[in-house]
Amino acid sequence: MTEGSRTWAVPGGRVPERSTGAEPENTSYDMLCLLNTGREDASISIWLYYEDKLPVGPYPIEVKAERVRHVRLNDLIDPEAMPLGTEYGILVRSSVPIAVQYWRQDTSRGKAIATAMAMPLD
Protein backbone atom coordinates (compact mmCIF):
# COMPACT_ATOMS: atom_id res chain seq x y z
CA MET A 1 0.00 0.00 0.00
CA THR A 2 1.07 3.57 -0.63
CA GLU A 3 0.68 5.83 2.40
CA GLY A 4 0.87 9.09 0.43
CA SER A 5 3.61 11.17 -1.16
CA ARG A 6 7.05 12.46 -0.19
CA THR A 7 6.73 16.00 -1.53
CA TRP A 8 3.86 18.40 -0.88
CA ALA A 9 3.18 22.06 -1.69
CA VAL A 10 0.98 24.77 -0.16
CA PRO A 11 1.28 27.97 -2.22
CA GLY A 12 -1.11 30.18 -0.24
CA GLY A 13 0.35 30.85 3.21
CA ARG A 14 -0.06 34.06 5.21
CA VAL A 15 -0.46 34.13 8.99
CA PRO A 16 -3.03 36.78 9.96
CA GLU A 17 -1.40 39.59 11.95
CA ARG A 18 -4.31 40.13 14.25
CA SER A 19 -6.06 37.82 16.73
CA THR A 20 -9.12 38.44 18.89
CA GLY A 21 -10.57 36.34 21.73
CA ALA A 22 -9.00 34.39 24.59
CA GLU A 23 -5.56 32.85 23.97
CA PRO A 24 -4.41 30.28 23.00
CA GLU A 25 -7.63 28.80 21.58
CA ASN A 26 -8.30 31.91 19.50
CA THR A 27 -4.84 32.77 18.20
CA SER A 28 -4.74 33.17 14.43
CA TYR A 29 -2.56 30.58 12.73
CA ASP A 30 -1.50 28.69 9.61
CA MET A 31 -1.04 24.98 10.31
CA LEU A 32 0.34 21.86 8.63
CA CYS A 33 -1.06 18.48 9.66
CA LEU A 34 1.29 15.60 8.86
CA LEU A 35 -0.03 12.01 8.93
CA ASN A 36 2.36 9.07 8.85
CA THR A 37 0.34 5.86 8.59
CA GLY A 38 3.45 3.82 7.71
CA ARG A 39 5.71 1.70 9.86
CA GLU A 40 8.80 3.90 9.52
CA ASP A 41 9.41 7.24 11.22
CA ALA A 42 9.30 10.22 8.85
CA SER A 43 12.11 12.80 8.75
CA ILE A 44 10.49 15.89 7.29
CA SER A 45 11.94 19.18 6.01
CA ILE A 46 9.77 22.27 5.62
CA TRP A 47 10.90 25.04 3.26
CA LEU A 48 9.23 28.44 3.12
CA TYR A 49 9.14 30.40 -0.15
CA TYR A 50 8.66 34.16 -0.26
CA GLU A 51 7.83 36.78 -2.87
CA ASP A 52 11.10 38.68 -2.67
CA LYS A 53 13.80 36.64 -0.97
CA LEU A 54 15.43 33.21 -1.09
CA PRO A 55 13.62 30.20 0.38
CA VAL A 56 14.18 29.65 4.11
CA GLY A 57 14.76 26.19 5.57
CA PRO A 58 14.97 23.42 6.29
CA TYR A 59 12.71 23.46 9.33
CA PRO A 60 13.14 19.86 10.56
CA ILE A 61 10.10 17.93 11.85
CA GLU A 62 9.85 14.31 12.86
CA VAL A 63 6.64 12.29 12.72
CA LYS A 64 6.90 8.85 14.24
CA ALA A 65 5.47 5.76 12.54
CA GLU A 66 1.67 5.55 12.91
CA ARG A 67 1.38 9.03 14.37
CA VAL A 68 0.01 12.42 13.32
CA ARG A 69 1.54 15.80 14.05
CA HIS A 70 -0.05 19.26 13.78
CA VAL A 71 2.48 22.09 13.41
CA ARG A 72 1.56 25.78 13.48
CA LEU A 73 3.76 27.59 10.96
CA ASN A 74 3.93 30.62 13.24
CA ASP A 75 5.62 28.43 15.87
CA LEU A 76 8.57 27.62 13.58
CA ILE A 77 11.58 29.66 14.73
CA ASP A 78 14.71 27.83 13.58
CA PRO A 79 16.40 28.72 11.20
CA GLU A 80 14.19 31.85 11.18
CA ALA A 81 10.86 32.94 12.67
CA MET A 82 8.27 33.60 9.97
CA PRO A 83 7.00 37.17 9.72
CA LEU A 84 3.22 37.57 10.25
CA GLY A 85 1.10 39.18 7.54
CA THR A 86 3.56 38.09 4.85
CA GLU A 87 2.77 36.02 1.76
CA TYR A 88 4.62 32.71 1.61
CA GLY A 89 4.41 29.21 0.13
CA ILE A 90 5.37 25.89 1.69
CA LEU A 91 7.29 22.89 0.39
CA VAL A 92 7.29 19.72 2.50
CA ARG A 93 9.77 16.90 1.86
CA SER A 94 9.57 13.62 3.75
CA SER A 95 11.84 10.59 3.92
CA VAL A 96 8.80 8.32 3.65
CA PRO A 97 5.30 8.74 2.15
CA ILE A 98 2.96 10.85 4.30
CA ALA A 99 -0.27 12.83 3.83
CA VAL A 100 -0.43 16.59 4.48
CA GLN A 101 -3.34 18.95 5.18
CA TYR A 102 -3.26 22.73 5.56
CA TRP A 103 -5.45 24.78 7.94
CA ARG A 104 -5.89 28.47 8.61
CA GLN A 105 -7.66 30.00 11.58
CA ASP A 106 -8.24 33.74 11.25
CA THR A 107 -9.67 35.44 14.32
CA SER A 108 -9.02 39.01 13.23
CA ARG A 109 -12.84 39.45 13.16
CA GLY A 110 -14.73 36.63 14.86
CA LYS A 111 -13.49 33.17 13.93
CA ALA A 112 -13.01 32.11 10.31
CA ILE A 113 -11.51 28.77 9.24
CA ALA A 114 -10.35 27.25 5.96
CA THR A 115 -8.61 24.04 4.95
CA ALA A 116 -7.22 22.22 1.91
CA MET A 117 -5.18 19.13 1.35
CA ALA A 118 -1.64 20.07 0.36
CA MET A 119 -0.81 19.34 -3.30
CA PRO A 120 1.23 16.14 -3.77
CA LEU A 121 4.14 16.78 -6.16
CA ASP A 122 5.44 13.24 -6.66
Shortest Cβ distance from residue 18 to a copy of itself (Å)? Answer: 8
Task: Of 77, 73, 105, 74, give the one whose Cα is nearest residue 91.
Answer: 73
Among 31, 61, 84, 96, binds a copy of itself (CB under 8 A): 31
The amino acid at 19: S
Which one, 2 or 78, has the nearer CB to a copy of itself?
Answer: 2
Shortest Cβ distance from residue 108 to a copy of itself (Å)? Answer: 6
Q: Is 110 exposed, middle or buried (0-12, 13-18, 19+ CB in 10 A)?
A: exposed
Residue 34 touching a copy of itself (CB under 8 A):
yes
